[in-house]
Structure 1
Amino acid sequence: MEIDIDHLRGWIGREQKDSEHLDPTLVRQFNATFDRDSGTEIGDVAPLLIHFCLAQPTVPTMKLGEDGHPARGGFLPPVPLPRRMWAGGAIQFFGPIRIGETVTRRSVITDVTLKQGRTGPLCFVTVDHDVTSNGLKVLTERQDIVYRGASPTGTTTTAPAPAAIGEQHRTVTPTAPLLFRYSALTFNGHRIHYDKPYATGVEGYPGLIVHGPMQATQLCQYAADLHGKPPRYFRFRSLSPIFDDADFTLNASTDGAGLKLWTARTGGPVAMEAQAEW
């Protein structure tokens, strides 16, 4: 398959802007999804990374592709590769989002690159987000999206080494209701997260895939729990998928003044690696 990278790079500079009022109901739903407690009154500080659930594109159902993602060629470039995943990102926090405020996200495509991977071409799209709350800058985020061919991610000829267990660790059971609730919170129609017949029969995975941003949220919140306050910087990168057929762990180990974090399914390799700094 030939990919016209010059055409796709024509999307660099495209912008999208959305706003949403953060009400207590969303915070209660977010906390219920992650089995967490926090203030839910107007003016209370909202949970970390709840911005992933705010001001998301509201594409009509009839304009979704077979995989549940918005059809390509709108804000994101029309990359002619069938599989799209959130590969990672980096966040710098400047202040909290508070319940009752209006959160605005301005997004700009800053790069489109083509690389040759082990299983074929990979196209990376970088999106920068600036997020404000009631007009005050609360965070900046770099989002890395990867497009690839139809072969399942993580297919290897040799089994990767199992991940180490962190100095601190916590076990998570990726139930179907957990994955469905997070998809609903983020208005994410990607079927690999809630439609098992599609995930296994069409995309060839062994089960439902645990969302990358959900893992990032859990790791960032875990870092804040261990350190006693939210980090100033948080970056993460997906290395391999986690499915709903086994538990996985959140892991953390001291790394200088910060924390090195990672997720891994039981007996499996590192799925997502992250770094939190204060």
Structure 2
Amino acid sequence: MQDSATVQDWIGRSETATDVLRAQPARFMQATLDRDSGLVDGDGLPPLWHWLYFLDARRASELGRDAHPRKGGFLPPVDLPRRMWAGGRVRFHAPLILGQEASKRSTILSVREKQGRSGRLCFVTVEHALFQNGEPALTEEHDIVYREDPAPDAPLPTPVMAPVEAEISECVTPTEVMLFRYSALTFNGHRIHYDVDYARGVEGYEGLVFHGPLTATLLIDLACRHRGLPPKTLSYRGVAPLAGLAPFQIEATTEGEVSLVWAKRQDGALAMSAEVTF
């Protein structure tokens, strides 16, 4: 067990960044999703596309085994090798406007160690507060989970089955190009998204892994198109990986002011669940 006092010392650490929300990355994102590239300065940024900005470009010599920046800078020095995007909660205060400068303040909210069925886990929650023209635009709590490498003989986890009834359902067919483009747009070097030998042989996935943030982006996009309204809040949680470039479904249903949305694998297993309020 790592020295918990060491990682707990990271709670409360903050960093700030500024960026101009240029239209070009948003247009490239539209092309990645096979849509017309029509966003221009003055348009509102679609929900969760803020992940295309405020990127952290570390030197190649500062990267770890998985090509993420080595831990111990802003993020705590957790001594577990695998990093996963576990989920988060987002409050949308005002649209982020393309072509204008924005700022982001990030703070480590919590570091929690647990013992799971697959071994040790460490959850790190980071708050990101985004501002534009001095006014709050978005507040996000991002959950990161660190875990051990899988044992060669570890049994596969029992899947949680997705809901069977949906008001709307769309099929997403991942490709290597889609994963490569999203990794490039977010400057995400994590090898599970483009190095199939690493994804299978080291981290134990069935193949290339579909990005968790891209899944969340597709889910809130589906909910907003379904309701025809801008979102107020989003809560989402990764349940099981989407790996191997297998097609999957994104689905939605409504309960009053809430849209329930989820990603469902071909075997019917729940990959990500989310709630969007309007």
Label 1:157 to 1:192 Cα distance change in 2 as closer, same or farther (>3 A).
closer
Equivalent pairs counted in the alignment come to 275
Once the two structures are TM-superposed, the CA of residue 174 in structure 1 deviates from its matched residue by 1.0
- Using the TM superposition, give the Cα deviation of residue 99 of structure 1 relative to its aligned residue in structure 2, in angstroms: 1.2
Residue 189 of structure 1: how far off its partner (Å)? 0.6
Name structure 1 gaps, 5 residues minimum.
Answer: none
Q: Take 2:254 and 2:43, find their aligned partners in 1: how far apart are those partners?
A: 30
| Mapped contact 2:251–2:263 kept (Cα < 8 A) | yes
Write the deviation string for residues 136-179 of structure 1: whole angstroms up to 9, x where unpaired. 21100000010110018xx6556535423422110000111111
Task: Quote the Cα distance in structure 2 between the aligned partners of 1:147 and 1:56.
Answer: 21
Q: After the TM superposition, which of the residue ranges 127-136 and 174-183 deviates more from structure 2?
A: 127-136
Q: Deviations over 1:30-73 (max 9, x none)?
A: 11111234742221112221111110211111111120100110
Give the distance between the partners of 2:83 and 2:159, measured in 1 at CA.
Answer: 23
Deviations along 1:232-278, whole A, 9 cap, x unmatched?
A: 00110001100133101111011232111110111231010000001
Matched letter for residue 275 of structure 2: Q
Matched residue of 1:11: which SS?
coil
- Native 8 Å contact 1:33 1:182 kept in 2: yes
TM-score in terms of structure 1 length: 0.94
Distance in structure 1 (CA, Å) of the matches to 2:198 and 2:98: 37
Mark the runs of 5 or more structure 2 residues left unpaired by the alignment: none
Separation in structure 1 between the aligned mates of residue 46 and residue 32 of structure 2, nearest angstrom: 12
CA contact (8 A) 1:224 1:231 kept: yes
- Does 2:210 correspond to 1:194? no
Letter in structure 1 aligned against 2:123? F
The yes-or-no answer on 1:247 pairing with 2:247 is yes
Cα distance in 2 for residues equivalent to 1:157 and 1:265: 15
What is the TM-score when the length of structure 2 is the normalising length? 0.94
- Deviation at residue 15 of structure 1 after TM alignment: 0.8
Q: Is the 8 A contact 1:212 1:238 kept in 2?
A: yes
Name the structure 2 match of 1:275. Answer: 275
Question: Equivalent residues in 2 for 1:1-278 (5 A)?
Answer: 2-37=1-36, 39-151=38-150, 156=155, 159-160=158-159, 162-165=161-164, 166-278=166-278
Whether contact under 8 Å (1:121, 1:148) holds in the other structure is: yes
SS at match of 1:124: strand
How far apart, CA to CA, are the structure 2 residues paired with 1:129 and 1:161? 30
Identity of aligned residues (%): 45
8 Å Cα contact 1:175-1:244 kept in structure 2 = no
User: For residue 257 of structure 1, what is the amino acid of its counterpart?
Assistant: E
1:233–1:276 contact (8 Å) kept in structure 2 = yes
| Matched-pair contact (CA < 8 Å) for 2:16–2:105 | yes
The 1:38–1:134 alpha-carbon spacing in structure 2 relative to 1, beyond 3 Å, is farther
Structure 2 distance, partners of 1:213, 1:39, is 22
SS in 2 for 1:220: helix
How far does the alpha carbon of each residue in 1:161-214 deviate from its partner, in whole angstroms, 9 at most, with x for none? 542342211000011111111111111110001111211122221101111100
Write the letter of the residue equivalent to 1:203.
E
Whole-Å separation in 2 of the counterparts to 1:38 and 1:203: 35
Structure 1 counterpart of 2:77, one-letter code: P
Deviates more, 1:93-102 or 1:16-25: 16-25
2:272 partner amino acid? M
User: For residues 230 and 207 of structure 2, what CA distance do their matches in structure 1 show?
Assistant: 33
Change over 3 Å in CA distance of 1:140–1:58 after alignment to 2: same
What is the DSSP-based 3-state SS (H/G/I as helix, E as strand, rest coil) of the residue aligned with 2:9?
helix
